[in-house]
Amino acid sequence: MSWCCFFCLQWATLRMERGSGLFLMVFHTPPGIIAKEPASLEQEIQEMRRSGSGLGGAEFDMSDIFYFCRRGVESIVDDEVTKRFTAEELESWNLLTRSNYNFHHISTRLTVLWGLGVLIRYGILLPLRVTLAFTGVGLLVFLTSIIGLLPNGGMKSFLSEKVHLMCYRICVRALTAIITYHDSENKPKNGGICVANHTSPIDVIILASDGCYAMVGQVHGGLMGVIQRAMVKACPHIWFERSEVKDRHLVAKRLSDHVADKSKLPILIFPEGTCINNTSVMMFKKGSFEIGCTVYPVAIKYDPRFGEAFWNSSKFGMVNYLLHMMSSWAIVCSVWYLPPMSREEGEDAVQFANRVKAAIARKGGLADLLWDGGLKREKVKEVFKEEQQKLYSKVLVGALQKIKNATGPRT
């Protein structure tokens, strides 16, 4: 199935290249609009002062304003944050209606292929996938509820693990997910925390279909609430009430108590706190890195040619998103288990989180960004503005100190 889709997409790409001379110009654009050499704030301001007036004094100069204006315009033109919350742009059309299909009228044969794809995806694949999804979820709720009646012990843990794996793998089949796991010797073990980059809600079943985890999340109502209550009967997952989520000390204590018990499954956490579009890793929240246990990093990278896994929660609801997923050609991804990492001496939680994040970004071929994923829905925090103000103050103070050292003490 995957090879057939691959050859069809390759053929469609060739047809579009022949049909439009603009293809390469439109789609093969560099990832960054503004290209410049990396330089510090002090270097850029001094360079601007010299090019403007030939002076490089320590006091405030009116030309300094132009530096901040230029940086502001550059951030608007080439915004590296906002574009992480939209679907990744493909170099060619993958014959899906929600991706770029400006070229599907170039060729009659290409249009016919697209129409056949719609019939196959919505007429054959979608009903089968929906059936599998309901089967997997139904079995999960039913069997975990029965296992929950058993007394705690080795038999209950064994059956719970087998049931969770079976049901998650059925749900993975419902997405026609083709997953390649690398370095399985580094898989998370009991008494630790597994942290991974977050692209989609299905990240959970992608990982859980290869090993069991204790889930962490907020208590929900409706169908999701039924699933949560059934799962926690068979396995010690960690669900928080809405009022408890903001209590950092309570959350940390619940997590610490869990990892202290070596008989319990490793905790699965996505420290970014929101879905990022499969191109980068954004700031990790420090909470899960303050506990002091072993952290097992995992990198997940999706291949968007066969189906877009990113969930833009600002644009699509969960039902609409799942419909898009199940009507794609397939969900293809790679998972890398990285060697376990521990907090080093003298390293605080933020530094540890950034070190883990950098390792995940390198392995998954993702951009390592310092920005908080919360900017998806919130305004820029005052702390970011204060950092720029502090950097500029250091430039002025540093330049003034250099002048004092050069002139020597006054007599």
Pairing between strand 192-196 and 367-368? Answer: unpaired
Please say whether the beta carbons of 210 and 363 come within 8 A: no
Sign of the dihedral defined by the CA atoms of residues 238, 211, 167, 281, in that order: positive
Distance CA 331, CA 333 (A): 7
Query: Which one has a higher pLDDT value, 101 or 307?
Result: 307
Give Cβ neighbours of residue 92 (< 8 Å, ≥ 6 apart). 9, 12, 13, 16, 27
Query: What is the tens place of the pLDDT at every residue in 224-239?
Result: 788 888 888 888 888 8
Give Cβ neighbours of residue 264 (< 8 Å, ≥ 6 apart). 190, 191, 214, 236, 258
Closest among 281, 272, 266 to 361, alpha carbons compared: 281
pLDDT-based confidence at 46, cuts 50/70/90? low
Which pLDDT does position 31 carry in this prediction?
46
Arithmetic mean of pLDDT, 343-361: 90
Which pLDDT does position 330 carry in this prediction?
87
Query: Which one has a higher pLDDT value, 162 or 401?
Result: 162
Mean per-residue pLDDT of the chain: 77
Distance CA 256, CA 270 (A): 17
Which pLDDT does position 298 carry in this prediction?
95
Tell me how far CA of residue 117 lies from CA of 4, 95, 111, 223, 314, in angstroms.
Answer: 12, 7, 10, 32, 28
Phi-psi domain of 54 (left: phi exceeds 0; alpha: psi -120 through 50; beta: other) = left
Give the sheet arrangement for strand 331-337, strand by strand: 177-182, 331-337, 294-303, 192-196, 267-269, 214-218, 238-240
Query: Which one has a higher pLDDT value, 299 or 94?
Result: 299
Arithmetic mean of pLDDT, 354-383: 81
Tokens of 320: 């609409």
Arithmetic mean of pLDDT, 235-255: 77
Give Cβ neighbours of residue 153 (< 8 Å, ≥ 6 apart). none
Q: How far is C-alpha 278 from the chain's CA centre? A: 6
pLDDT at 358 over 90: yes
Closest among 118, 106, 114, 112 to 16, alpha carbons compared: 106
| Domain limits, the chain | 108-373
Arithmetic mean of pLDDT, 259-264: 84
Which pLDDT does position 411 carry in this prediction?
45
Please say whether the beta carbons of 96 and 8 come within 8 A: no
Give the DSSP H/E element, type plus range, for residue 347: none
pLDDT at 384 over 60: yes
Q: Which pTM value belongs to this model? A: 0.75
pLDDT at 195 over 90: yes
Contacts of 112-121 with CB under 8 Å at 24 or more apart are 113/8, 113/11, 113/12, 117/8, 117/329, 121/327, 121/328, 121/329
Which pLDDT does position 361 carry in this prediction?
93
> b vs e for 12-26, b when ≥16 Cβ sit within 10 Å of the residue's Cβ?
bbebbeeeeeebeee
pLDDT at 45 over 70: no
Arithmetic mean of pLDDT, 67-87: 66
Distance CA 276, CA 301 (A): 11
Phi-psi domain of 62 (left: phi exceeds 0; alpha: psi -120 through 50; beta: other) = alpha
Count other Cβ atoms within 10 Å, centred on residue 57: 13
Which pLDDT does position 81 carry in this prediction?
67
pLDDT-based confidence at 117, cuts 50/70/90? confident
Which pLDDT does position 400 carry in this prediction?
56
Closest among 290, 286, 293 to 357, alpha carbons compared: 286
Closest among 200, 196, 132 to 168, alpha carbons compared: 132
Tokens of 341: 């990492």
Which pLDDT does position 24 carry in this prediction?
39
Which pLDDT does position 28 carry in this prediction?
41
Per-residue 3-state assignment (H helix, E strand, C coil) for 260-290? HCCCCCCEEECCCCCCCCCCEECCCCCHHHC
pLDDT-based confidence at 30, cuts 50/70/90? very low
Q: In the chain, what percentage of residues exceed pLDDT 90?
A: 21
DSSP 102: T
Residue 320: phi, psi to the nearest 5? -65, -40
**Helix segments in 185-263, DSSP class H:** 203-208, 222-234, 248-260
